[in-house]
Amino acid sequence: MTTALILAVLIGAVAGSRTMLGPAAVSWAAYGGWLDLSGSWLFFLGHPVSPWVFTAMAVGELVTDKLPSTPSRKRPFPFASRIASGAIAGSAIGANAEAWVPGLLAGGLGAVAGTLLFYEARQRMAAAFGRDRPAALIEDAVALTVALLVVAAA
């Protein structure tokens, strides 16, 4: 169960970076049979349509994130969305180890930490580069890599 909770924190951190990336990753894992969510309230993540819907939302977020009009992730609604997303993704990881409630909590806490840590890292990288776009692309790559590693290990 400890491994599942660590993975739940990490997928929550991914959601802290990119809100829809965590649910997209666990949805693909559930659809592909890596995560067995069939007996849980998260069964919908394994539906054949779900990974495509979550992926479309994740791609839309990746594009929208680069726009200058996008609000800060630390504002109440984006922050709450990241926590909810991380909690759901963490719960899916936990459910695979029969610990969906601890996974839900770990994913939500991971999302809080990920939101704040990724924000700070991106601000520092943007200052070093003298612009935001390279920092944003690096953040995208790190979040995607962590998401893939988490679902592969789950």
CA distance 17 to 74: 11
> Distances in Å between the alpha carbon of 57 and those of 19, 80, 117, 154?
9, 17, 23, 23
What interhelical angle do 133-153 and 21-31 show, nearest 10?
30
What is the identity of the amino acid at 154?
A
pLDDT band at 154 (very low <50, low <70, confident <90, very high): confident
CA distance 36 to 95: 8
pLDDT in tens, 10-26: 999 999 999 999 999 99
pTM of the shown model: 0.92
pLDDT band at 113 (very low <50, low <70, confident <90, very high): very high
| Structural element, H or E, at residue 74 | none
What is the identity of the amino acid at 30?
A
pLDDT in tens, 30-48: 999 999 998 889 999 999 9
CA distance 103 to 129: 36
